[in-house]
Structure 1
Amino acid sequence: MSTVPRFFPVMLVVLFLSGCGKPQHDTLVLTGSSTVAPLISDLAADFEALNPGVRVDVQSGGSSRGLADVRQGTAALGMISRELRSEESGLQAHVIARDGISLLVHARNPVTELSDEQVRRLFRGEIANWQEVTDFDARVSIVHKGEGRATLDVFLAYFALHNRDVKADLIVGENQQGIRSVAGNPGAIGYVSIGSANYEIAQGVPVKGLAIAGVAPDATAIAQGDYPLSRNLNLVTQGELGGLAADFVAYARSPQAHERIQQHFFTPVVNP
Protein backbone atom coordinates (compact mmCIF):
# COMPACT_ATOMS: atom_id res chain seq x y z
CA MET A 1 0.00 0.00 0.00
CA SER A 2 1.38 3.39 -1.00
CA THR A 3 2.40 5.76 1.79
CA VAL A 4 2.58 8.81 -0.47
CA PRO A 5 0.09 11.43 0.78
CA ARG A 6 -2.81 12.12 -1.55
CA PHE A 7 -1.87 15.82 -1.63
CA PHE A 8 1.73 15.11 -2.72
CA PRO A 9 1.04 15.63 -6.47
CA VAL A 10 -0.54 18.97 -5.59
CA MET A 11 2.59 19.90 -3.66
CA LEU A 12 4.72 19.13 -6.71
CA VAL A 13 2.54 21.35 -8.90
CA VAL A 14 2.78 24.22 -6.39
CA LEU A 15 6.56 23.87 -6.18
CA PHE A 16 6.84 23.76 -9.96
CA LEU A 17 4.69 26.86 -10.41
CA SER A 18 6.61 28.75 -7.73
CA GLY A 19 9.72 28.28 -9.81
CA CYS A 20 8.00 29.56 -12.93
CA GLY A 21 7.38 33.11 -11.84
CA LYS A 22 8.81 36.22 -13.44
CA PRO A 23 12.28 35.71 -14.88
CA GLN A 24 15.17 37.14 -12.89
CA HIS A 25 16.76 40.28 -14.31
CA ASP A 26 20.15 41.91 -13.95
CA THR A 27 19.38 45.35 -12.53
CA LEU A 28 21.45 48.52 -12.86
CA VAL A 29 20.60 51.45 -10.57
CA LEU A 30 21.45 55.06 -11.45
CA THR A 31 20.57 58.06 -9.26
CA GLY A 32 21.33 61.77 -9.26
CA SER A 33 21.03 64.84 -11.46
CA SER A 34 17.58 65.89 -12.64
CA THR A 35 19.30 67.39 -15.69
CA VAL A 36 20.76 64.05 -16.73
CA ALA A 37 17.91 61.76 -15.62
CA PRO A 38 15.45 62.29 -18.54
CA LEU A 39 18.18 61.51 -21.07
CA ILE A 40 19.36 58.48 -19.12
CA SER A 41 15.78 57.20 -18.83
CA ASP A 42 15.50 57.17 -22.62
CA LEU A 43 18.94 55.61 -23.05
CA ALA A 44 17.97 53.02 -20.44
CA ALA A 45 14.90 52.01 -22.45
CA ASP A 46 17.04 51.63 -25.56
CA PHE A 47 19.66 49.66 -23.64
CA GLU A 48 17.02 47.32 -22.20
CA ALA A 49 15.64 46.69 -25.70
CA LEU A 50 19.12 45.69 -26.86
CA ASN A 51 19.75 43.56 -23.77
CA PRO A 52 16.75 41.38 -22.84
CA GLY A 53 16.91 40.38 -19.20
CA VAL A 54 18.46 43.68 -18.12
CA ARG A 55 16.56 46.31 -16.14
CA VAL A 56 17.83 49.86 -15.62
CA ASP A 57 16.36 51.80 -12.68
CA VAL A 58 16.79 55.59 -13.04
CA GLN A 59 16.03 57.93 -10.11
CA SER A 60 16.66 61.67 -9.86
CA GLY A 61 17.15 63.74 -6.70
CA GLY A 62 20.16 65.89 -7.52
CA SER A 63 23.86 65.37 -8.19
CA SER A 64 24.64 65.21 -4.47
CA ARG A 65 22.32 62.25 -4.09
CA GLY A 66 23.99 60.47 -6.98
CA LEU A 67 27.44 60.90 -5.44
CA ALA A 68 26.23 59.78 -2.00
CA ASP A 69 24.46 56.70 -3.38
CA VAL A 70 27.52 55.62 -5.35
CA ARG A 71 29.71 55.95 -2.26
CA GLN A 72 27.20 53.96 -0.19
CA GLY A 73 26.82 51.29 -2.86
CA THR A 74 23.07 51.81 -3.34
CA ALA A 75 23.64 52.94 -6.94
CA ALA A 76 26.15 51.61 -9.45
CA LEU A 77 26.26 54.91 -11.34
CA GLY A 78 25.70 58.47 -10.18
CA MET A 79 24.42 61.11 -12.59
CA ILE A 80 26.05 64.51 -12.05
CA SER A 81 25.92 67.73 -14.07
CA ARG A 82 29.25 69.18 -12.99
CA GLU A 83 32.88 68.20 -12.67
CA LEU A 84 34.13 66.16 -9.74
CA ARG A 85 35.82 68.24 -7.05
CA SER A 86 39.33 67.63 -5.81
CA GLU A 87 38.03 66.38 -2.47
CA GLU A 88 35.76 63.81 -4.13
CA SER A 89 38.50 61.22 -4.31
CA GLY A 90 37.97 57.60 -5.24
CA LEU A 91 35.36 58.49 -7.85
CA GLN A 92 35.64 58.45 -11.63
CA ALA A 93 33.61 60.64 -14.00
CA HIS A 94 32.65 59.41 -17.46
CA VAL A 95 31.49 62.22 -19.77
CA ILE A 96 28.40 61.38 -21.84
CA ALA A 97 27.38 64.83 -23.18
CA ARG A 98 27.86 68.59 -22.96
CA ASP A 99 25.28 71.05 -21.68
CA GLY A 100 25.14 74.57 -20.30
CA ILE A 101 23.12 76.67 -17.89
CA SER A 102 20.66 79.17 -19.29
CA LEU A 103 19.18 82.22 -17.62
CA LEU A 104 15.45 81.81 -18.14
CA VAL A 105 12.67 84.42 -18.32
CA HIS A 106 9.06 84.46 -19.49
CA ALA A 107 8.54 84.76 -23.25
CA ARG A 108 6.70 88.07 -22.72
CA ASN A 109 9.74 89.67 -21.13
CA PRO A 110 11.51 91.69 -23.88
CA VAL A 111 14.97 91.35 -22.33
CA THR A 112 17.41 89.32 -24.47
CA GLU A 113 20.65 89.60 -22.51
CA LEU A 114 21.88 90.62 -19.07
CA SER A 115 25.34 91.64 -17.95
CA ASP A 116 26.98 89.66 -15.18
CA GLU A 117 26.51 92.60 -12.83
CA GLN A 118 22.81 92.85 -13.67
CA VAL A 119 22.42 89.16 -12.88
CA ARG A 120 24.15 89.61 -9.54
CA ARG A 121 21.98 92.61 -8.66
CA LEU A 122 18.80 90.79 -9.66
CA PHE A 123 19.57 87.74 -7.56
CA ARG A 124 20.70 89.85 -4.58
CA GLY A 125 17.33 91.61 -4.62
CA GLU A 126 18.78 94.97 -5.66
CA ILE A 127 16.54 95.27 -8.74
CA ALA A 128 12.87 95.07 -7.82
CA ASN A 129 11.21 95.80 -11.17
CA TRP A 130 12.16 94.85 -14.71
CA GLN A 131 11.78 98.49 -15.75
CA GLU A 132 15.25 99.05 -14.28
CA VAL A 133 16.62 96.72 -16.96
CA THR A 134 14.24 96.86 -19.92
CA ASP A 135 10.92 98.26 -21.08
CA PHE A 136 8.78 95.86 -19.07
CA ASP A 137 6.76 96.74 -16.00
CA ALA A 138 6.73 93.63 -13.81
CA ARG A 139 7.98 92.82 -10.35
CA VAL A 140 11.11 90.68 -10.41
CA SER A 141 10.58 87.20 -8.97
CA ILE A 142 13.69 85.09 -8.34
CA VAL A 143 13.42 81.33 -8.94
CA HIS A 144 16.43 79.72 -7.26
CA LYS A 145 17.77 76.17 -7.05
CA GLY A 146 17.81 74.21 -3.81
CA GLU A 147 21.02 73.01 -2.19
CA GLY A 148 22.50 69.76 -3.42
CA ARG A 149 21.93 70.67 -7.06
CA ALA A 150 24.95 70.93 -9.34
CA THR A 151 23.20 73.60 -11.40
CA LEU A 152 23.16 75.80 -8.29
CA ASP A 153 26.89 75.29 -7.68
CA VAL A 154 27.87 76.09 -11.28
CA PHE A 155 25.60 79.15 -11.42
CA LEU A 156 26.90 80.64 -8.16
CA ALA A 157 30.53 80.04 -9.13
CA TYR A 158 30.18 81.64 -12.57
CA PHE A 159 28.45 84.79 -11.32
CA ALA A 160 30.57 85.03 -8.15
CA LEU A 161 27.51 84.90 -5.91
CA HIS A 162 27.16 83.52 -2.40
CA ASN A 163 24.07 81.43 -1.79
CA ARG A 164 23.33 83.31 1.43
CA ASP A 165 23.07 86.58 -0.53
CA VAL A 166 20.45 85.36 -3.00
CA LYS A 167 16.97 86.75 -2.26
CA ALA A 168 14.86 83.93 -3.63
CA ASP A 169 11.09 84.14 -4.03
CA LEU A 170 10.88 80.44 -4.82
CA ILE A 171 13.23 77.49 -4.26
CA VAL A 172 12.94 74.64 -6.76
CA GLY A 173 14.58 71.28 -7.26
CA GLU A 174 14.30 69.75 -10.70
CA ASN A 175 14.65 71.72 -13.94
CA GLN A 176 11.02 71.16 -14.88
CA GLN A 177 9.91 72.84 -11.65
CA GLY A 178 11.99 75.88 -12.49
CA ILE A 179 10.73 76.02 -16.06
CA ARG A 180 7.07 75.73 -15.00
CA SER A 181 7.58 78.42 -12.36
CA VAL A 182 9.02 80.89 -14.87
CA ALA A 183 6.35 80.00 -17.45
CA GLY A 184 3.66 80.86 -14.92
CA ASN A 185 5.04 84.26 -13.89
CA PRO A 186 5.92 86.96 -16.46
CA GLY A 187 8.24 88.66 -13.96
CA ALA A 188 10.19 85.56 -13.01
CA ILE A 189 13.83 84.78 -13.74
CA GLY A 190 15.58 81.51 -13.04
CA TYR A 191 18.33 79.32 -14.43
CA VAL A 192 18.17 75.77 -15.71
CA SER A 193 19.87 73.30 -18.02
CA ILE A 194 20.01 74.58 -21.59
CA GLY A 195 18.94 71.18 -22.87
CA SER A 196 15.94 71.06 -20.53
CA ALA A 197 14.94 74.64 -21.37
CA ASN A 198 15.20 74.23 -25.14
CA TYR A 199 13.33 70.92 -25.01
CA GLU A 200 10.40 72.62 -23.25
CA ILE A 201 10.56 75.67 -25.53
CA ALA A 202 10.23 73.33 -28.52
CA GLN A 203 7.04 71.98 -26.90
CA GLY A 204 5.59 75.49 -26.78
CA VAL A 205 6.29 76.40 -23.15
CA PRO A 206 6.34 80.25 -22.93
CA VAL A 207 9.90 80.80 -21.70
CA LYS A 208 13.15 81.88 -23.33
CA GLY A 209 16.85 81.74 -22.59
CA LEU A 210 19.02 84.85 -22.35
CA ALA A 211 22.37 85.33 -24.04
CA ILE A 212 25.48 85.41 -21.85
CA ALA A 213 28.40 87.53 -23.07
CA GLY A 214 26.59 87.93 -26.38
CA VAL A 215 26.24 84.18 -26.97
CA ALA A 216 22.82 82.53 -27.24
CA PRO A 217 22.21 79.44 -25.09
CA ASP A 218 22.04 76.65 -27.66
CA ALA A 219 23.70 73.37 -28.57
CA THR A 220 25.67 74.91 -31.45
CA ALA A 221 27.39 77.41 -29.18
CA ILE A 222 28.21 74.64 -26.71
CA ALA A 223 29.59 72.36 -29.44
CA GLN A 224 31.80 75.16 -30.75
CA GLY A 225 33.02 76.03 -27.26
CA ASP A 226 31.61 79.56 -27.45
CA TYR A 227 29.05 79.47 -24.64
CA PRO A 228 30.72 80.56 -21.40
CA LEU A 229 28.49 78.72 -18.92
CA SER A 230 28.99 75.18 -20.24
CA ARG A 231 29.51 71.94 -18.35
CA ASN A 232 29.95 68.21 -18.79
CA LEU A 233 27.21 65.72 -18.00
CA ASN A 234 28.78 62.72 -16.29
CA LEU A 235 28.13 59.23 -15.06
CA VAL A 236 30.20 58.60 -11.93
CA THR A 237 31.51 55.35 -10.50
CA GLN A 238 33.41 54.42 -7.40
CA GLY A 239 36.64 52.64 -8.24
CA GLU A 240 37.16 50.83 -11.51
CA LEU A 241 34.33 50.58 -14.01
CA GLY A 242 33.15 47.04 -14.69
CA GLY A 243 30.24 44.70 -15.33
CA LEU A 244 26.83 45.96 -16.36
CA ALA A 245 27.75 49.53 -15.38
CA ALA A 246 30.67 49.45 -17.84
CA ASP A 247 28.39 48.17 -20.60
CA PHE A 248 25.88 50.96 -20.00
CA VAL A 249 28.52 53.69 -19.87
CA ALA A 250 30.03 52.39 -23.12
CA TYR A 251 26.59 52.51 -24.75
CA ALA A 252 25.85 56.03 -23.46
CA ARG A 253 29.18 57.25 -24.87
CA SER A 254 28.82 55.49 -28.23
CA PRO A 255 27.55 56.95 -31.53
CA GLN A 256 24.38 54.88 -31.01
CA ALA A 257 23.39 57.30 -28.25
CA HIS A 258 24.00 60.53 -30.18
CA GLU A 259 20.49 60.81 -31.61
CA ARG A 260 18.95 60.47 -28.15
CA ILE A 261 21.37 63.04 -26.76
CA GLN A 262 20.43 65.50 -29.49
CA GLN A 263 16.72 64.86 -28.91
CA HIS A 264 17.27 66.23 -25.40
CA PHE A 265 19.06 69.28 -26.84
CA PHE A 266 22.40 68.26 -25.39
CA THR A 267 25.66 68.06 -27.33
CA PRO A 268 27.19 64.61 -27.98
CA VAL A 269 30.84 64.15 -27.10
CA VAL A 270 32.86 62.77 -30.02
CA ASN A 271 35.62 60.34 -29.04
CA PRO A 272 35.12 60.92 -25.29
Structure 2
Amino acid sequence: MKKRSLIEGTIICLLGVLSLTSCSNNTNSIKMKGSDTEVNLAVNLAENFTKLDPTFSIAISGGGSGLGITSLMNGQADIANSSRPLSEEEKQQFKDLNIAIKTVVFAEDATAFVVHKDLPLDEIDTETLSKILSGEIKNWSEITEFKYPINIYGRQSSSGTHSFVKKKLKIEFTNAAKEMTGNAQILEGVKADKTGIGYVGAGYVAHDPSASQGVKILKIKDKEELGAISPLDQSAINAGTYFFQRPLYQFILADSWEKVRPFINFERSESGRQLISDHGYYILENQKNEI
Protein backbone atom coordinates (compact mmCIF):
# COMPACT_ATOMS: atom_id res chain seq x y z
CA MET A 1 0.00 0.00 0.00
CA LYS A 2 2.86 2.37 0.82
CA LYS A 3 4.65 1.58 -2.45
CA ARG A 4 2.30 3.36 -4.79
CA SER A 5 4.95 3.42 -7.50
CA LEU A 6 4.51 -0.31 -7.95
CA ILE A 7 2.17 -0.95 -10.89
CA GLU A 8 -0.22 -3.86 -10.43
CA GLY A 9 0.36 -6.62 -12.94
CA THR A 10 3.99 -5.64 -13.55
CA ILE A 11 6.57 -8.32 -12.97
CA ILE A 12 9.04 -7.32 -10.31
CA CYS A 13 12.26 -9.23 -9.79
CA LEU A 14 13.46 -8.85 -6.24
CA LEU A 15 17.14 -9.72 -6.31
CA GLY A 16 18.96 -10.84 -3.26
CA VAL A 17 22.42 -9.66 -4.37
CA LEU A 18 23.51 -6.81 -6.59
CA SER A 19 25.41 -9.07 -8.96
CA LEU A 20 22.20 -10.82 -10.02
CA THR A 21 20.45 -9.18 -12.97
CA SER A 22 17.46 -11.47 -13.57
CA CYS A 23 15.29 -14.04 -11.88
CA SER A 24 16.82 -17.46 -12.38
CA ASN A 25 15.45 -20.98 -12.31
CA ASN A 26 17.74 -22.22 -9.53
CA THR A 27 16.53 -23.78 -6.32
CA ASN A 28 16.48 -20.38 -4.60
CA SER A 29 14.35 -18.70 -7.25
CA ILE A 30 10.61 -18.39 -6.68
CA LYS A 31 7.96 -17.24 -9.15
CA MET A 32 4.75 -15.88 -7.65
CA LYS A 33 1.71 -14.78 -9.69
CA GLY A 34 -1.93 -13.96 -9.14
CA SER A 35 -4.18 -11.78 -7.04
CA ASP A 36 -3.92 -8.02 -7.44
CA THR A 37 -5.34 -7.76 -3.93
CA GLU A 38 -2.19 -9.41 -2.60
CA VAL A 39 0.50 -8.17 -4.99
CA ASN A 40 1.82 -5.15 -3.07
CA LEU A 41 1.85 -7.11 0.18
CA ALA A 42 3.69 -9.97 -1.55
CA VAL A 43 6.31 -7.53 -2.86
CA ASN A 44 6.91 -6.10 0.60
CA LEU A 45 7.16 -9.55 2.18
CA ALA A 46 9.57 -10.69 -0.53
CA GLU A 47 11.77 -7.60 -0.17
CA ASN A 48 12.13 -8.14 3.56
CA PHE A 49 12.66 -11.89 3.20
CA THR A 50 15.47 -11.45 0.66
CA LYS A 51 17.18 -9.00 3.02
CA LEU A 52 17.36 -11.81 5.56
CA ASP A 53 18.35 -14.43 2.96
CA PRO A 54 20.10 -12.77 -0.01
CA THR A 55 20.53 -16.13 -1.75
CA PHE A 56 16.86 -15.97 -2.81
CA SER A 57 15.28 -14.14 -5.74
CA ILE A 58 11.52 -13.78 -5.99
CA ALA A 59 9.69 -12.66 -9.14
CA ILE A 60 6.17 -11.33 -8.52
CA SER A 61 3.32 -10.33 -10.83
CA GLY A 62 -0.40 -9.67 -10.46
CA GLY A 63 -3.08 -10.09 -13.10
CA GLY A 64 -5.79 -11.68 -10.98
CA SER A 65 -6.35 -14.89 -9.01
CA GLY A 66 -7.44 -16.82 -12.10
CA LEU A 67 -4.23 -15.95 -13.94
CA GLY A 68 -2.14 -17.08 -10.99
CA ILE A 69 -3.93 -20.43 -10.78
CA THR A 70 -3.59 -20.96 -14.55
CA SER A 71 0.12 -20.11 -14.30
CA LEU A 72 0.47 -22.77 -11.62
CA MET A 73 -1.13 -25.34 -13.91
CA ASN A 74 1.17 -24.32 -16.77
CA GLY A 75 4.33 -24.56 -14.67
CA GLN A 76 4.89 -20.80 -14.91
CA ALA A 77 4.67 -20.17 -11.18
CA ASP A 78 5.62 -21.80 -7.89
CA ILE A 79 3.03 -19.86 -5.88
CA ALA A 80 -0.39 -18.64 -7.00
CA ASN A 81 -1.73 -15.84 -4.81
CA SER A 82 -5.52 -16.01 -4.74
CA SER A 83 -8.26 -14.05 -3.03
CA ARG A 84 -10.68 -16.93 -3.55
CA PRO A 85 -10.64 -20.72 -3.09
CA LEU A 86 -10.18 -23.08 -6.03
CA SER A 87 -13.31 -23.76 -8.02
CA GLU A 88 -14.48 -27.35 -8.47
CA GLU A 89 -13.44 -27.10 -12.12
CA GLU A 90 -9.93 -25.99 -11.17
CA LYS A 91 -9.60 -28.80 -8.63
CA GLN A 92 -10.51 -31.28 -11.35
CA GLN A 93 -8.03 -29.70 -13.77
CA PHE A 94 -5.18 -30.08 -11.28
CA LYS A 95 -6.25 -33.68 -10.74
CA ASP A 96 -6.41 -34.39 -14.48
CA LEU A 97 -2.96 -32.86 -14.94
CA ASN A 98 -1.63 -34.92 -12.03
CA ILE A 99 -0.38 -31.75 -10.33
CA ALA A 100 -0.28 -31.87 -6.54
CA ILE A 101 -0.59 -28.57 -4.68
CA LYS A 102 -0.51 -27.35 -1.10
CA THR A 103 -2.78 -24.61 0.25
CA VAL A 104 -1.73 -21.89 2.69
CA VAL A 105 -4.17 -19.38 4.19
CA PHE A 106 -1.89 -16.60 5.41
CA ALA A 107 -4.20 -13.66 6.15
CA GLU A 108 -7.74 -12.37 6.04
CA ASP A 109 -8.97 -9.51 3.90
CA ALA A 110 -12.08 -7.38 3.69
CA THR A 111 -13.51 -5.98 0.47
CA ALA A 112 -14.34 -2.29 0.69
CA PHE A 113 -16.94 -0.47 -1.40
CA VAL A 114 -15.98 3.08 -2.31
CA VAL A 115 -17.81 6.05 -3.76
CA HIS A 116 -16.73 9.58 -4.64
CA LYS A 117 -16.11 11.73 -1.57
CA ASP A 118 -18.89 14.15 -2.57
CA LEU A 119 -21.61 11.52 -2.94
CA PRO A 120 -24.18 11.97 -0.12
CA LEU A 121 -23.95 8.36 1.04
CA ASP A 122 -22.08 6.90 4.01
CA GLU A 123 -23.55 3.41 4.32
CA ILE A 124 -25.49 0.90 2.26
CA ASP A 125 -27.30 -2.37 2.93
CA THR A 126 -26.50 -5.54 1.01
CA GLU A 127 -29.94 -5.69 -0.63
CA THR A 128 -29.55 -2.22 -2.14
CA LEU A 129 -25.96 -2.95 -3.12
CA SER A 130 -27.09 -6.10 -4.93
CA LYS A 131 -29.64 -4.13 -6.90
CA ILE A 132 -27.02 -1.56 -7.91
CA LEU A 133 -24.40 -4.08 -9.03
CA SER A 134 -26.94 -6.19 -10.92
CA GLY A 135 -28.33 -3.11 -12.69
CA GLU A 136 -31.79 -3.07 -11.08
CA ILE A 137 -31.05 0.32 -9.51
CA LYS A 138 -29.52 2.57 -12.16
CA ASN A 139 -29.73 6.08 -10.72
CA TRP A 140 -28.52 7.50 -7.41
CA SER A 141 -31.83 9.36 -7.08
CA GLU A 142 -33.42 6.06 -6.04
CA ILE A 143 -31.47 6.07 -2.77
CA THR A 144 -30.08 9.64 -2.42
CA GLU A 145 -30.92 13.18 -3.52
CA PHE A 146 -28.12 12.89 -6.10
CA LYS A 147 -29.83 12.66 -9.50
CA TYR A 148 -27.23 11.01 -11.72
CA PRO A 149 -26.90 7.57 -13.31
CA ILE A 150 -24.72 5.12 -11.39
CA ASN A 151 -21.37 4.10 -12.88
CA ILE A 152 -19.98 0.80 -11.56
CA TYR A 153 -16.22 0.21 -11.44
CA GLY A 154 -15.50 -3.51 -11.04
CA ARG A 155 -13.04 -6.19 -12.04
CA GLN A 156 -12.71 -8.75 -14.82
CA SER A 157 -14.22 -12.19 -14.32
CA SER A 158 -10.72 -13.63 -13.72
CA SER A 159 -10.47 -11.56 -10.54
CA GLY A 160 -10.94 -13.35 -7.23
CA THR A 161 -12.55 -10.22 -5.80
CA HIS A 162 -15.07 -10.17 -8.66
CA SER A 163 -16.00 -13.80 -7.94
CA PHE A 164 -16.14 -13.18 -4.21
CA VAL A 165 -18.54 -10.23 -4.44
CA LYS A 166 -20.71 -12.03 -6.98
CA LYS A 167 -21.04 -15.13 -4.79
CA LYS A 168 -21.60 -13.22 -1.55
CA LEU A 169 -24.44 -11.19 -3.05
CA LYS A 170 -25.72 -14.07 -5.22
CA ILE A 171 -25.97 -11.86 -8.30
CA GLU A 172 -24.81 -11.50 -11.87
CA PHE A 173 -23.09 -8.20 -12.53
CA THR A 174 -24.77 -5.86 -14.98
CA ASN A 175 -23.11 -5.68 -18.39
CA ALA A 176 -22.86 -1.92 -17.85
CA ALA A 177 -20.23 -2.43 -15.12
CA LYS A 178 -16.77 -1.26 -16.15
CA GLU A 179 -14.08 -3.95 -15.96
CA MET A 180 -10.87 -2.55 -14.50
CA THR A 181 -7.50 -4.24 -14.13
CA GLY A 182 -6.94 -3.69 -10.42
CA ASN A 183 -7.45 -1.74 -7.21
CA ALA A 184 -5.52 1.33 -8.37
CA GLN A 185 -7.52 1.71 -11.59
CA ILE A 186 -10.83 1.34 -9.75
CA LEU A 187 -9.86 3.98 -7.21
CA GLU A 188 -8.71 6.42 -9.87
CA GLY A 189 -11.98 5.87 -11.75
CA VAL A 190 -14.14 6.59 -8.70
CA LYS A 191 -12.03 9.59 -7.67
CA ALA A 192 -12.68 11.17 -11.06
CA ASP A 193 -16.37 10.23 -11.22
CA LYS A 194 -18.90 11.67 -8.77
CA THR A 195 -21.41 9.03 -9.90
CA GLY A 196 -19.07 6.08 -9.41
CA ILE A 197 -19.05 3.12 -7.04
CA GLY A 198 -16.38 0.42 -6.95
CA TYR A 199 -14.88 -2.29 -4.79
CA VAL A 200 -11.26 -2.77 -3.70
CA GLY A 201 -9.28 -4.71 -1.13
CA ALA A 202 -9.68 -2.90 2.19
CA GLY A 203 -6.00 -3.49 2.88
CA TYR A 204 -5.20 -1.44 -0.19
CA VAL A 205 -6.72 1.71 1.29
CA ALA A 206 -6.46 1.07 5.04
CA HIS A 207 -2.98 2.44 5.73
CA ASP A 208 -2.31 4.66 2.74
CA PRO A 209 -3.96 8.10 2.89
CA SER A 210 -3.03 8.80 -0.73
CA ALA A 211 -4.94 5.69 -1.86
CA SER A 212 -8.18 6.66 -0.14
CA GLN A 213 -7.97 10.41 -0.77
CA GLY A 214 -10.92 11.51 -2.87
CA VAL A 215 -13.11 8.52 -2.07
CA LYS A 216 -15.42 7.48 0.75
CA ILE A 217 -15.40 3.96 2.19
CA LEU A 218 -18.97 2.84 2.75
CA LYS A 219 -20.16 1.04 5.85
CA ILE A 220 -22.08 -2.13 4.98
CA LYS A 221 -25.28 -3.27 6.65
CA ASP A 222 -26.33 -6.90 6.34
CA LYS A 223 -28.22 -7.67 9.53
CA GLU A 224 -30.32 -4.94 11.10
CA GLU A 225 -29.28 -5.82 14.65
CA LEU A 226 -25.58 -5.39 13.81
CA GLY A 227 -25.94 -2.01 12.14
CA ALA A 228 -23.61 -0.74 9.42
CA ILE A 229 -20.02 -1.99 9.69
CA SER A 230 -16.84 -0.55 8.22
CA PRO A 231 -14.31 -2.87 6.53
CA LEU A 232 -11.66 -1.01 8.54
CA ASP A 233 -13.19 -2.03 11.88
CA GLN A 234 -10.66 -4.47 13.35
CA SER A 235 -13.00 -5.63 16.12
CA ALA A 236 -15.74 -6.45 13.60
CA ILE A 237 -13.30 -8.44 11.47
CA ASN A 238 -12.09 -10.34 14.52
CA ALA A 239 -15.71 -11.14 15.38
CA GLY A 240 -16.45 -12.18 11.78
CA THR A 241 -19.37 -9.75 11.48
CA TYR A 242 -18.31 -7.76 8.40
CA PHE A 243 -20.21 -9.14 5.42
CA PHE A 244 -17.39 -8.95 2.86
CA GLN A 245 -14.46 -10.55 4.68
CA ARG A 246 -12.53 -13.50 3.31
CA PRO A 247 -9.32 -15.53 3.66
CA LEU A 248 -6.37 -14.96 1.35
CA TYR A 249 -4.82 -18.06 -0.20
CA GLN A 250 -1.49 -19.16 -1.57
CA PHE A 251 -1.60 -22.31 -3.70
CA ILE A 252 1.83 -23.88 -4.00
CA LEU A 253 3.15 -26.60 -6.29
CA ALA A 254 4.00 -29.62 -4.15
CA ASP A 255 7.20 -30.02 -6.20
CA SER A 256 8.21 -26.49 -5.19
CA TRP A 257 7.30 -26.84 -1.53
CA GLU A 258 10.78 -27.34 -0.10
CA LYS A 259 12.27 -24.27 -1.79
CA VAL A 260 9.18 -22.17 -0.98
CA ARG A 261 8.89 -23.19 2.66
CA PRO A 262 11.50 -20.71 4.03
CA PHE A 263 9.49 -17.85 2.53
CA ILE A 264 6.20 -19.21 3.92
CA ASN A 265 7.82 -19.54 7.34
CA PHE A 266 8.93 -15.91 7.09
CA GLU A 267 5.32 -14.88 6.38
CA ARG A 268 4.30 -16.67 9.56
CA SER A 269 7.11 -15.20 11.68
CA GLU A 270 6.53 -12.21 13.94
CA SER A 271 8.18 -9.96 11.34
CA GLY A 272 6.01 -11.33 8.54
CA ARG A 273 2.82 -11.06 10.57
CA GLN A 274 3.68 -7.45 11.42
CA LEU A 275 4.14 -6.64 7.73
CA ILE A 276 0.78 -8.25 6.93
CA SER A 277 -0.87 -6.19 9.65
CA ASP A 278 0.88 -2.99 8.53
CA HIS A 279 -0.62 -3.47 5.07
CA GLY A 280 -4.13 -3.42 6.51
CA TYR A 281 -4.78 -7.16 6.44
CA TYR A 282 -5.84 -9.24 9.37
CA ILE A 283 -3.82 -11.98 11.03
CA LEU A 284 -5.37 -15.41 11.53
CA GLU A 285 -5.19 -16.13 15.24
CA ASN A 286 -4.83 -19.89 14.75
CA GLN A 287 -1.99 -19.51 12.25
CA LYS A 288 1.06 -21.58 13.14
CA ASN A 289 4.39 -19.79 13.24
CA GLU A 290 6.30 -22.45 11.33
CA ILE A 291 5.52 -25.26 8.90
TM-score (norm 1): 0.84
Q: Return the offset for 1:202.
A: 5.7
Q: The residue matched to 2:217 in structure 1 has which SS?
A: strand
Matched residues, number: 250
Q: Return the offset for 1:253.
A: 2.1
Aligned to 1:73: 75
Q: Distance between the aligned counterparts of 2:152 and 2:212, measured in 1?
A: 22
Deviations 1:62-111 (A, max 9, x none): 10111111122211101001123344434332011100112211111121
Q: How do 1:8-157 residues align onto structure 2 when only pairs under 5 Å count?
A: 22=19, 26-89=28-91, 90-157=100-167
Residue 258 of structure 1, aligned match among 250, 273, 280 = 273
CA RMSD, Structure 1 to Structure 2 (Å): 2.1
Q: Return the offset for 1:115.
A: 2.2
Residue 211 of structure 1, aligned match among 195, 214, 219 = 219
Q: The residue matched to 2:115 in structure 1 has which SS?
A: strand
Aligned to 1:267: 282
Aligned to 1:5: none
Aligned to 1:12: none
Aligned to 2:183: 175
Deviates more, 1:210-219 or 1:64-73: 210-219
Aligned to 1:184: 192
Q: Which amino acid in 2 is paired with 1:176? A: A
| Structure 1 residues 260 and 177, CA gap change in structure 2 (3 angstroms) | same
Q: Distance between the aligned counterparts of 2:263 and 2:280, measured in 1?
A: 21
Q: Distance between the aligned counterparts of 2:74 and 2:154, measured in 1?
A: 29
Q: Distance between the aligned counterparts of 1:168 and 1:93, measured in 2?
A: 35
Q: Return the offset for 1:226.
A: 1.6
Q: Distance between the aligned counterparts of 1:182 and 1:216, measured in 2?
A: 19
- Tell me which structure has the larger Cα radius of gyration: 1
Q: The residue matched to 1:60 in structure 2 has which SS?
A: strand
Deviates more, 1:220-229 or 1:180-189: 220-229
Q: Distance between the aligned counterparts of 2:115 and 2:212, measured in 1?
A: 14
Deviates more, 1:262-271 or 1:39-48: 262-271
- Contact 1:100/1:231 (<8 A) preserved: yes
Deviations 1:5-59 (A, max 9, x none): xxxxxxxxxxxxxxxx946873111000000110000000001100012111111
Q: Which amino acid in 2 is paired with 1:137? A: K
Q: Return the offset for 1:259.
A: 2.0
Task: Structure 1: state its 5+ residue gaps.
Answer: 1-20
Q: The residue matched to 2:36 in structure 1 has which SS?
A: coil
Deviates more, 1:65-74 or 1:24-33: 24-33
Q: Return the offset for 1:241.
A: 6.1
TM-score (norm 2): 0.79
Q: The residue matched to 2:86 in structure 1 has which SS?
A: coil
- Contact 2:109/2:201 (<8 A) preserved: yes
Aligned to 1:222: 237
Q: Distance between the aligned counterparts of 1:234 and 1:122, measured in 2?
A: 29
Q: Distance between the aligned counterparts of 1:123 and 1:86, measured in 2?
A: 25
Paired-residue identity, %: 26
| Structure 1 residues 198 and 22, CA gap change in structure 2 (3 angstroms) | closer
Q: The residue matched to 2:193 in structure 1 has which SS?
A: coil
- Contact 2:205/2:212 (<8 A) preserved: no
Q: Distance between the aligned counterparts of 1:148 and 1:88, measured in 2?
A: 13
| Structure 1 residues 204 and 61, CA gap change in structure 2 (3 angstroms) | closer
Q: The residue matched to 1:35 in structure 2 has which SS?
A: helix
Q: Which amino acid in 2 is paired with 1:264? A: H
- Contact 1:219/1:267 (<8 A) preserved: no
Q: Distance between the aligned counterparts of 1:109 and 1:250, measured in 2?
A: 44
